[in-house]
Amino acid sequence: MTGESDYILKIFAADLAALSDSVLKHLTRMKGVASIRSNIVLQCVKSTTELPLSHLPAAG
């Protein structure tokens, strides 16, 4: 990971109010948290961590 972020958190919230509540009541009060930047997903196109490796020979 490079750039201006030290940590990336993926937070699932019911709505923007719940997200705001989590950020304001929990994250901003943590020792060492100097700033927070949020990115909100409007639509999920693909949600998987699986890699398409079926073309590779089997190990062993």
46 located within any domain: no
Predicted local distance difference test score (pLDDT) of residue 2: 60
Note the pLDDT of residue 52. 85
- Any domain includes 4: yes
Domains of the chain: total? 1
47: in domain = no
Residue 58, domain member (yes or no):
no
Q: Note whether 13 and 22 are within 8 A (CB).
A: yes
pTM here is: 0.55
**pLDDT of 6-36, one tens digit each?**
888 888 899 999 999 988 999 899 998 888 8
CB 36 within 8 A of CB 28: yes
Residues 3, 18: Cα–Cα separation, whole Å: 28
Please tell me the distance from the alpha carbon of residue 26 to that of residue 19, in angstroms, as a whole number. 10
* Residue 13 lies inside a defined structural domain of this protein: yes
Instruction: Say what the pLDDT of residue 17 is.
Output: 94
- Domain carrying residue 29: 1-37
